[in-house]
Amino acid sequence: MSIPVSAEGWRKELPASVTRLGWILLIAGVAIAALGYIVDARRMAFDNVIGYLFLASVAAGSVFLVALEYIGGAVWSVPTRRVNEFLGGLVLLLPLIALPMFFHLHDVYHWTHEEVVAADKLLAGKSPYLDVNFFVLRFVLIFIIWSLFHFLFTRNSTKQDTTKDPKLTTINIRLAAVFMPVFAISLTLTAVDWAMSLEPHWSSTIFGVYYFSGTVLAALSAATYIIIKLHESGYLPKLQRDSFYSLGALMFAFINFWAYIAFSQFLLIWYADLPEETVWFMSRWKNGWEYVSILLIVVHFAIPYFALLTQDSKMDLKRLKLMAIWILFAHLLDLYWLVMPTYSESVSFSWTEFAFPILLVGLVMVVLSFKMRRNNLVPVGDPKLTRGLSFRL
């Protein structure tokens, strides 16, 4: 069954002021990034890596959450699924964020210098994988895969708004089953290519899972904030407190999962005590980076853990909004901690660090505005929608 309302009843546009603000932030972010490349191209390129990994987290993570709902048969998330579908559309813009990096690979990645690889036995052994052409090929293939699955999920979902055909849900469930292992491999390759290969002598078999935990948490936090803002502004139907509890509980679960994976990676490397592995953590425990490491534990785990610990806190909309923004900042700090020690042995901050956060906030606002003008905000044809609107734990 679907909710007793016309499809047109849920096609609502954002205020023009929101769209205008989005364009202002987007243009300002692009201008700052362009100026950064002019003033200090190498540093801006490292900031570009952080920006790309952050956008990939929200975009690909949102597609993952759509697939997770289908394959898990979830009911509570159906009324708000379209928000994740909209955010998943950001995957189409990933090449635009990555493009400047392809002109500055030598500034960031040590393994792109042929003379360095030729003189280093370890890098020579990794050269079949750490190859510029293969790097670009993997990027293109991953982009095509994520874009294809996003297109198929959203095409079937929006088509169902008019046809009300339950078979489209079945098709998306099958697509989700295929997407999950493909997503696991492609996200791991993204983490290895863009982040782990910054220090090509070091490797961690758990690094992909570490990035995955932050990816899902960032995508979930972005969706949670947008869902609550739309709900408070009357853009979404009346949702039950249990739906917000489910969002809060899922955020809480992935806060703990991130901490578990982060500690597991540290513990395994500390216990093995191999110099070629411990050097990565040691570089993040000196010259001021130790303070960033401690701050990351507090910001990414301790504070959101206690803030969302109780049952009531997971249904407090103000707290959920605050924690959603907090976690997005924590993910940005996490990426900074992963990337920037390669740029500088000591902690350093610059105005260039503001470019991509400003750009990406504007980009999300513009994309949401574009999507909401052309699509229903609620999947009115989904057979589980009525149950989702009356969901109770």
What tens digit of pLDDT does each residue of 86-143 get? Answer: 999 999 999 999 999 999 999 999 999 999 999 999 999 999 999 999 999 999 999 9
Residue 195 lies in a domain: yes
Give me the pLDDT at residue 3, please: 42
Token output for 41? 């191209």
Give me the pLDDT at residue 4, please: 45
Give me the pLDDT at residue 2, please: 39
Give me the pLDDT at residue 240, please: 84
Q: What proportion of the chain, given as a percentage, has pLDDT over 90?
A: 92
Token output for 256? 């703990």
How many Cα atoms occupy the beta-carbon half-sphere of 94 within 13 Å? Answer: 27
Gap between the Cα atoms of 94 and 71, Å rounded? 26
94 within 8 A of 143, measured Cβ to Cβ: yes
Residue 383 lies in a domain: no
Token output for 251? 């955020």
Neighbours of 308 (CB within 10 A): 22
Residue 384 pLDDT > 50, yes or no? yes
Token output for 325? 């923004």
Residue 115 lies in a domain: yes
How many Cα atoms occupy the beta-carbon half-sphere of 217 within 13 Å? Answer: 30
Distance of CA 302 to the CA centre of its chain: 21
Q: What proportion of the chain, given as a percentage, has pLDDT over 70?
A: 98
CA-nearest of 19, 152, 165 to 91 is 152
- Identify residue 87 by its one-letter amino acid code: L
Residue 146 lies in a domain: yes
* Residue 85 CB partners (closer than 8 Å, separation 6+): 62, 66, 150, 153, 154, 157
DSSP state of 363: H
219 within 8 A of 242, measured Cβ to Cβ: no
C-alpha distances in Å from residue 193, one per residue of 85, 109, 212: 26, 10, 14
Residue 392 lies in a domain: no
DSSP state of 379: -
56 within 8 A of 191, measured Cβ to Cβ: no
- Strand blocks (E) in the chain: none
Gap between the Cα atoms of 157 and 270, Å rounded? 47
C-alpha distances in Å from residue 94, one per residue of 90, 146, 179, 350: 7, 10, 19, 24
Residue 6 pLDDT > 70, yes or no? no
347 within 8 A of 291, measured Cβ to Cβ: yes
How many domains does the chain divide into?
Answer: 1
Residue 303 lies in a domain: yes
C-alpha distances in Å from residue 53, one per residue of 9, 49, 61, 190: 36, 6, 11, 8
Residue 344 pLDDT > 60, yes or no? yes
Gap between the Cα atoms of 352 and 384, Å rounded? 46
Mean pLDDT calculated for residue range 216-242: 93
Convert the pLDDT of each residue in 14-71 to its tens digit. 999 999 999 999 999 999 999 999 999 999 999 999 999 999 999 999 999 999 999 9
Give me the pLDDT at residue 12, please: 82
Residue 381 lies in a domain: no
CA-nearest of 23, 46, 26, 44 to 35 is 44
Mean pLDDT calculated for residue range 354-364: 97
Gap between the Cα atoms of 64 and 131, Å rounded? 28
Convert the pLDDT of each residue in 278-302 to its tens digit. 999 999 999 999 999 999 999 999 9
* Residue 185 CB partners (closer than 8 Å, separation 6+): none
Residue 392 pLDDT > 90, yes or no? no
Gap between the Cα atoms of 281 and 217, Å rounded? 23
How many Cα atoms occupy the beta-carbon half-sphere of 138 within 13 Å? Answer: 18
- Domain extent at residue 191: 9-376
Residue 11 pLDDT > 90, yes or no? no
Residue 283 lies in a domain: yes
Residue 156 pLDDT > 60, yes or no? yes
Query: Where residue 5 falls among pLDDT bands split at 50, 70, 90?
Result: very low
The number of helices, as runs of H, and strands, as runs of E, in the chain is 17, 0
Query: Where residue 308 falls among pLDDT bands split at 50, 70, 90?
Result: very high
pTM of the model: 0.95
